[in-house]
Structure 1
């Protein structure tokens, strides 16, 4: 029988009770309170912030919009491979500041230079602004590293969580037929890959598990503002070839997006792409942002990301 981790259940029950009271008193989601909520949640539960030897902000050139990034180099005297990371937040929330500790942990665990991307958010900047930002950062990041005279290896991986996973998979799809931008690997953490919300887990886990189907629908309605074909925009329904990067998917049993990641892996396997899957049978979506409640699980996640990026696939 499925059972949510007792490490999270008391907090989640309290959270659901508080949300019920707020809604009874007229609460409505706005981009402001959604952004504040994710920032507050992360600040409260991700308090172990490792020191990284070199951290600086920069801009990556793009068509019309210079994209802010934060660069984490855990060992500036050594040439390290590069990971471009896209934060989660439903395409409406999150930032390089909110995800600072998480990106530090990835850089430390994987021994990679991590590029955290502050892509544009909806509703101010709807689809496809975030996709354009993500694509241009991946294409042009080498120029920034060269200008900074950083020690790096020309080995590029990409990844992200939730909406950031959608951006990563979308960029991977765009690049699979561009031989001048090879991707070493991809890491998708409870990724959003189906904008049509057609998976069974969307219904099964859509109420009471922190990320609700109602909230995801609200996110997507603000992200897609011009009657775009959401199926065409979904990485799960894009073209799959063996040119896609080796991909690790990290999923959570009580996440409404669970099945999307699993189905994506199946399609990768079908075309011969190397894959691996780390599944947590008792956790909800967004568990990396709840680290103090599930420290061992988060530690395993970071260790697994490092192993995959360094091509040690024994997870």
Structure 2
């Protein structure tokens, strides 16, 4: 992991990883922020990534999968709990680590079902339980509904929901990809401001930290690499409240725009960025800001990968390797030092 030398701009390889390029070629029309709109994208993503759609030989093994429902501020929240075979002895002692995962999808698409397979891999490699929840999607539900539900799940895992399953309340990490990464960073800021119990760490996979995205990544990766740059503004507009003149929401929508001075009291972060990603520079700038604030554990850059590789792991060895690295980072957070009960 590279901690010290974070450049102003991330390197882009000469070509996209072969296995990822092949996957995108074989799944024409699979994009985020495209001209077809969010309804068509929801259907296409579900057809491609849903767990029950995968061939058996692509499904990652897991100890146990539990479907739970918890009360939330806007209604019931479905939570899928992944129990790995690894780490059972820690659960019996109430000392296990956990990841609360907020999935990506541009606020408007995505479901836990589409992410379960890769999250199974993270759970088994790290030995940590994974709590993945289905938040209410935009534009039917707008900010701050999604953050409210994320915070409610974290409270539950840090409290009875986690203790009942053998999780140590101080070993609960938050994580997400794309807008899920942005919401993880935003939630850490909000929980600090509200005086709530912090997370043990944050895993930010190619997070959406700024709007609009910055050059040169936006120019290099405008179209054809899954996330469509021209559709980013529309996705954010779907997420924002209809009446958004009040500036108080901004740091919880654009957490990367806050700068190092506002990063005090934040959990340590591991930030992943990609060469073929229009969001690349925002993630790198956030890594630099977190480093200046002393809140960066590590930055990992994949010059030949694109946005959304977590769900591509069943088809791409490179994406699978990157997913395994997420598990390494998670395990680092929960095992970096003994935590008092």
The verdict on a shared fold, with TM-score over 0.5 as the criterion, is: yes
2:54 paired with 1:38: no
Aligned ranges 1:24-173 → 2 under 5 Å: 29-43=36-50, 48-75=58-85, 76=88, 78-79=90-91, 80-141=96-157, 142-146=159-163, 149-154=164-169, 155-173=171-189
How far apart are the structure 2 equivalents of 1:194 and 1:169?
Answer: 12
Matched position secondary structure for 1:85: strand
Structure 1 residues 160 and 305: alpha-carbon distance in aligned structure 2, compared to 1, 3 A threshold: same
**Which ranges in structure 1 are unaligned for 5 or more consecutive residues?**
21-26
CA contact under 8 A between 1:86 and 1:116: conserved in structure 2?
yes
**Matching residue of 2:271:** 249
2:234 paired with 1:234: no
How far apart are the structure 2 equivalents of 1:111 and 1:14?
Answer: 33
| Residue 19 of structure 1, CA deviation | 8.1
Q: May I ask how many residue pairs the two structures share in their alignment?
A: 304
CA contact under 8 A between 2:214 and 2:279: conserved in structure 1?
no
Structure 1 residues 137 and 310: alpha-carbon distance in aligned structure 2, compared to 1, 3 A threshold: same
| Residue 77 of structure 1, CA deviation | 5.1
**Matching residue of 2:18:** 6
2:303 paired with 1:303: no
Structure 1 residues 306 and 180: alpha-carbon distance in aligned structure 2, compared to 1, 3 A threshold: same
**Matching residue of 1:201:** 217
Structure 1 residues 62 and 19: alpha-carbon distance in aligned structure 2, compared to 1, 3 A threshold: closer
| Residue 57 of structure 1, CA deviation | 1.5
CA contact under 8 A between 2:104 and 2:181: conserved in structure 1?
yes
Higher RCO (CA 8 Å, separation ≥ 6 residues)? 2
Matched position secondary structure for 1:139: helix
Structure 1 residues 178 and 126: alpha-carbon distance in aligned structure 2, compared to 1, 3 A threshold: closer
Structure 1 residues 77 and 279: alpha-carbon distance in aligned structure 2, compared to 1, 3 A threshold: same
1:38-90 superposed Cα distances (whole Å, 9 cap, x missing partner): 22232477862223222212123322422211111214553211110011111
1:164-185 superposed Cα distances (whole Å, 9 cap, x missing partner): 1111111111123566513211
**Matching residue of 1:181:** 197
Match for residue 218 of structure 1 among 223, 229, 234: 234
Aligned ranges 1:10-21 → 2 under 5 Å: 10-13=22-25
Matched position secondary structure for 1:183: coil
Match for residue 287 of structure 1 among 309, 318, 322: 309
TM-score of the pair, normalised by structure 2: 0.80
How far apart are the structure 2 equivalents of 1:92 and 1:270?
Answer: 33
CA contact under 8 A between 1:176 and 1:244: conserved in structure 2?
yes
**Which ranges in structure 2 are unaligned for 5 or more consecutive residues?**
1-12, 337-341
How far apart are the structure 1 equivalents of 2:45 and 2:262?
Answer: 33
How far apart are the structure 2 equivalents of 1:113 and 1:185?
Answer: 15
1:264-312 superposed Cα distances (whole Å, 9 cap, x missing partner): 11010111113211111111111222224421x2333233222222227
Greater shift, 32-41 or 163-172, is seen at 32-41
TM-score of the pair, normalised by structure 1: 0.86
Matched position secondary structure for 1:226: coil
**Matching residue of 1:191:** 207
Pairwise CA RMSD = 2.8
How far apart are the structure 1 equivalents of 2:314 and 2:63?
Answer: 24
Structure 1 residues 62 and 11: alpha-carbon distance in aligned structure 2, compared to 1, 3 A threshold: closer
Greater shift, 4-13 or 285-294, is seen at 4-13
| Residue 249 of structure 1, CA deviation | 1.1
How far apart are the structure 1 equivalents of 2:107 and 2:185?
Answer: 14
How far apart are the structure 2 equivalents of 1:28 and 1:7?
Answer: 25
| Residue 124 of structure 1, CA deviation | 0.8
